Structure 1
Amino acid sequence: MKNTAEKTQLHPRNRHRGRYDFPALIASHPPLAEFVAVNQYGDESVDFADPAAVRMLNQALLHHFYQIEHWTIPDGFLCPPVPGRADYVHHLADLLAEDNKSVVPRNINVLDIGCGANCIYPLIGNREYDWRFTGSEINEEAMRSANAIIAANPSLNRGVRLRRQKDHQAIFSGIIHKNEQYHAVICNPPFHASASEAQQGSQRKVRNLGLAKSAPLNFGGQRDELWCEGGEKAFIARIIDESVMFSRQCIWFTSLVSRKENLPDIWRALEQAGAVAVRTVEMAQGQKQSRFIAWTFMEKPVRERQMSRV
């Protein structure tokens, strides 16, 4: 009998609230079948320590729920958890609806800072809400991968475009062009402050999965994806600093914040930057707690006028 228990902490519109329906996923994406087996609890599952199995599960989820026919990433790049990424998109949609007469807006412009090789936010946001995405990326190989995903799915051509960020110190400069307007910015910043810190984080994940230390890592990740000098707090501080210069070209700036202890410093930075509204949106997936911070330099009447032009 299929286990239909819900992951009730996920957003109500999240398509992944129920447990994975492997027969349905296999029917949509037959190659998944060879990776599915009954685990020690008597449930069908995949080996989440196997990078190939996790990539195949992502392919099946994206195919089944979002009609993404072709999706793959190079070895060693971040393989994102689709349910959690979808949650960020849905909570952002609710935030934008507050300025749009409580209706989730469609056909808006969203900027994804560091879309990565997986291009996951544009895929989900475009399919769920018809949002038009510009994805920025600094890593050449990640850019090639993301472009290959778009090229392999022609229906994305009009909904997703990518721009290479050539300046390692810039966030928006060189990406947001003159006279462009965005309704929101979305970002999954590098979490760690160094390679060694990222490795320690990987080892904790291995222990949490109950695996041997030699087990392969299922999540992957390159330098620009997992770490930067100063970690996520420094990266978000850079976003805040630069967002001031583009305050009239974007309604809401947002970023994931993995470490709750970073929030007080981020709030102070936003106050100093002159943000007129700040939101901290809590999210959860199983035992993992997450959140994103959102800020704007536009008063509500201005935001409502901007949204009415969609």
Structure 2
Amino acid sequence: MALNNYMHPRNIYKTPPDFADLAKRFPAFSSISKMDITGKVTIDFKDPHSLRILTKCLLKSDFGLDIEIPEDRLVPTLPLRLNYILWIEDLLLAIGKKENVWGIDIGTGACAIYPVLAATKNKWNMIGTETDAESFKKAQENIDKNNLSNFIKLSKNTTSSVVQYLLDIETDQRFDFCMCNPPFYSSIQELCESRNPSRQPPKNGFTGSPQELVTEGGELEFCRKLIEESKIYKDRILFFTTMIGHKYNLKELLHDLTSEGIKYTHTEFCQGRVTRWGLAWTYQEYDIEKLVPSKDKIRKKSKPIAYQLTELPSRPYDVDTCTEKIMEILTGLQIKHKLLSKRGKSVCMQMTAFNNTWSHQRRKRRLQKQQEQESKKMRLCSSNEASHSEPTETQKENANSDDKVNENNNKQSKSLLLLCENGKDTSIQEPILQAFLKIFKKENAVLFEMEYISGNAGKEGIHQIVQYIKNNWK
């Protein structure tokens, strides 16, 4: 589903750019565009070079900016970046802050995209921090090239801190906000494995360097470090904000802020078929949730399905035991599950199903029983025939060979049956259901919650899995 309708109301890209006009005005864009038989001008969004040219032309056309985007660095998507800046505008406007705005961009990147947009559009004063030497150099070149050095200052971060080192340097400066688009992944391996091979390829080409996409502990730990440092400098920065790429990380960070009693709000940033999330918190007297209410308008927010788990025979009645049992059931259903967090008496997981393995269990058991009975009959017939005649050595060898062939055929048949259970090969199949699971103790009871995220199995699939767990609990 295209999500452009859910962009920020003031985002100029709610109305898609006129590619035909761009092709007339910019030779570089004309060279990477093509016209179809209907006269519509398009580009190859899977080609990183085309994405780079498009972004450069939009920055020039809409903001008068001449930005160089290195070939080995991330190509910033403007609608998404603009959504973030507009949301910060909302936070500041809610408290009447319009002039002399000071902000920090953590990890500014080679384009310094947030500072240059903020300075050009709103005349905000920005400090951009960067750890990578090459990105720092390119960012400074882009700032100088566009005569924005009066508004933007860069600071090289050689430490492991997020904002602490900067605030130790800028001892007297107070800031209205900090913003950040942290790396998603904790390692190159996680980056490579992050997109399930069963999913269809993304609509847009892949861009970015390891420095921009990988950080120790991944996105979740980076944001947690920012929350910890924010406690120290809560009087120096008014609004702490960050973009989040994974929805389950947002849920974990909301749990963290709630448990600390920190006031927060959050929103969705939408562009094309991409959704990201924005999170903001403050330690000041403002009720940030009332100022700029949290927004989740893409999907109607559904209440989790809750169920009280009963005691298991001869096993402790606690969260660990119940979690282990649920994981056994999910494994038996061939549903992938990933532990997100474990704190105190609460465990959170994410589950992904590619096939409906939980429905019509009685029919499946009946078919399996029939197959076992037929197999016994065949073995009995073979045994009776063998008792009437003594096989030769050649016959024995042939029989052994046939057994191996049958065994291989059975394995292949089972694999094929598994792949085609829903009439689709899983190598090209999207997940039919994704959900959050939570097992936690409340008073003397262990409770289980399942919350729908996405998938065409819908909320009905959630109900069916919960019922399956109930039926197979003991």
Q: Shorter-chain TM-score category?
A: 0.7 to 0.9
> Separation in 2 of the partners of 1:135 and 1:39?
42
Q: 1:34/1:143 Cα in 2 relative to 1: closer, same or farther (>3 Å)?
A: same
The answer as to 2:50 corresponding to 1:53 is yes
Residue 229 of structure 1: how far off its partner (Å): 2.4
Alpha-carbon distance, 1:74 to partner: 2.1
Other structure's SS at 1:126 match: helix
Unaligned 5+ runs, structure 1 = 211-216, 302-310
Higher relative contact order (CA 8 A, sep 6+): 1
User: What is the aligned partner in structure 1 of residue 264 from structure 2?
Assistant: 278
Separation in 2, partners of 1:40, 1:280: 43
Hey, what's the Cα distance between the residues in 2 that align with 1:200 and 1:142?
26
Tell me: CA distance 1:244–1:39, structure 2 relative to 1, closer, same or farther (3 Å).
Answer: farther
- 1:75-98 CA-partner distances (Å, limit 9, x unpaired): 221111111111111111112211
Q: Identity of counterpart residues, as a percentage?
A: 28
Cα displacement string for residues 153-212 of structure 1 (whole angstroms, at most 9, x for unaligned residues): 11x121111100011x111122121111110111001111221222234787994347xx
Match in the other structure for 2:150: 158
- With over 3 angstroms needed to count, the CA separation of the structure-2 counterparts of 1:286 and 1:126, relative to structure 1, is same
- Normalising by the residue count of structure 1, what TM-score does the alignment of the two structures yield? 0.84
1:111-153 Cα offsets, whole Å, 9 max, x none, are 0000011211112112221111110000000001101101111
1:193 to 186, 189, 193: 186
TM-score, normalized by length of structure 2?
0.56
| Residues 1:296 and 2:292 aligned together | no
Shift of 1:219: 3.7
SS at match of 1:79: coil
Residue equivalent to 2:9: 12
Q: Indicate if the aligned counterparts of 1:28 and 1:60 stay in contact, CA closer than 8 A.
A: no
1:175-254 alignment, distance < 5 Å:
175-176=166-167, 177-201=170-194, 207-209=200-202, 218-254=205-241
Give the residue type in structure 2 aligned to 1:173: Q
1:246-281 deviations in whole A, cap 9, x for unaligned?
Answer: 111110000011111122321232245552x20011
Deviation by residue 1:270-294 (Cα, 9 ceiling, x = unmatched)? 245552x200112222322221110
Structure 2 portions without partners, runs of 5+: 288-474
Cα 1:159/1:259, change in 2 over 3 Å: same
C-alpha distance in 1, partners of 2:56/2:255? 40
Check whether the contact 1:31–1:56 (CA below 8 A) recurs between aligned residues: yes
Runs of 4 or more off by more than 6 Å in structure 1?
202-206
Q: Distance in 2 between matches of 1:144 and 1:96?
A: 31
State the Cα RMSD in Å.
2.6
Aligned length: 285
- Contact kept, 8 Å, 1:9 with 1:286, in 2: the verdict is no
Query: Is 1:174 paired with 2:165?
Result: yes
Q: Give the match's secondary structure for 2:248.
A: helix
Larger radius of gyration: 2
CA gap 1:282/1:209 in 2 versus in 1, 3 angstroms: closer
